[in-house]
Structure 1
Amino acid sequence: MSQIRNASDTTCKQLLRDGECFADLCNALYFHGRQVIKPEDLISQENDVSTLIGKEPLPMKMKRYRDIVRKVSINGDYMIIGVEHQSSLDKNMIIRILNYDAQLYINQVERGKEVVEISQSMLEGDYEKLRTNRTISVENYKMASILTHADIKEEDLPEGKEINMCKAMDQLFQRFENQGIEKGRQEEKRNTLKEQLKVKLGTLSNPLEERPTTTSLEKLNELTLNIFNINSKEEVLKIIH
């Protein structure tokens, strides 16, 4: 009887190791025959699901092996499919398998690490403390600018070895604001100049219309001073070239 059972186990395992047979079985059981799982999508996995149960210092090792374990991706979601073959009818098999899985999950939960308190503390605070006149060394300030990709220039750095963070950030934001205002003024000047050229010359060609965008501010100022003397596209290009 034992030889028959072993032969049956071996034959069943060989059959399920075949990708097409395994896929057909899963599609029949899980998807009513629809061809959701494809043989080429099946990936073999380690069938050793042994684990330790109980707590330190004397945990007990529980050895368990699944007959067949495959991983498959279904619509972008990964599934682990484990198959247990039973040579003879055993009504308690499903309970035994569920108990194996439950022991694995319990073991994972009990061995999970607690949340480190500092992760919670880092999220605490108030704006009053944030606005205090905290000082750091200039070297640390430079390092912070590198890590945050902030555009810190030498003129933003104070004299001495320490810097007031609140004052430094206010100065930095003010410089960024001034840069934005200046950039807006230059853009407005370019747009106004293009409108004036359209009035003088009519419709502008694409190269001529795009040229003020890449021309230096010095050339644009020169073009503005001569706008009333310009009568052709060539005269414009001669000035801003």
Structure 2
Amino acid sequence: MGKKDLTGKQLEEYADVFVDIYNHLLFEKEYLQEKGLQNDATQSVYHSENGEIRFQDRDIIKKYNDGTNYVIANFGIENQAVIDKTMPIRVMHYDASGYHKQMKEKAASVYPVITIVLNLTEKRWTAPKSVHELVTMNEKMKQYVQDYQIKVFDIAYLPDKIIESFKSDFKEIAYFLKRKRQGKNPFDSTRKLKHYREVLEFMSAFTQDKRYRELGIAYLEEVEKKGGEVTMCRVADALVNQGISQGISQGISQGIQQGIQQGMELGRKEGFLDGRIQMLADLGYQTEDIVEKLHVSRELVERVIYEHPYDDI
């Protein structure tokens, strides 16, 4: 299992996040309850075509019951950081393994196995969503080939109405991915995060930007210790501080080169401000947003962004 899949699993393992995803993406109503969930083994063993024993890992799978003594269904989530055209076959294999497990355990009754796929890329899922779409065959043959269809959700393209229906921290993940794709400020939220460590790990893995994890978590832990609310806006604050530090260092260096104290002070001030501007731009803030947030001129913002970008940020 890849690092991105593991990171997504950390957040989705929480019952409030798991039921939130299923209720508002698949069922479109409050169907699952947190208390009905039970973790199930994500790893299974099977025999390959040549007879070798192989292990199969799923991202996340949970059993569910509605308060009775028997399981109603197995629900799974597969996170995709890349678009995989073989996904219908993979999901079919996952689900078949779930049914096979029930047979081995000699379950009194067979319950359904359901899997949904979360497309976490910035592109729409254009790959096959069924076996019929994947397999090359003529129309006459199609009637004899069993089809297997999968449910794929393009998270970065969800309508705001659906994203607003989420009650867990997955709302922030959905808005983050969507706004990032749109080139908007992905941190424009003051909603309190419940699982902020897992949210930042998720963002760090799926954007391949380690600053979310290395800078964001430590900063938010300090905010929490001081009694402050942990929000996505606070995440932006943590990353902006990185820009400030880099800007100050660059400014001091420029001042030293001028060889006078006045130059050092000027370089310090300019580097401080340039660092904040560049980091906000790096986080997805538009020019107008930066002007309003920092109370600076549009000309200054455009100079920093377009003329002197920091390559190492």
Shared fold, TM over 0.5: no
What TM-score do you get using the length of structure 2 for normalisation? 0.28
Rg comparison, structure with higher value: 1
Point out which structure has higher relative CO (alpha carbons under 8 A, 6+ apart): 2
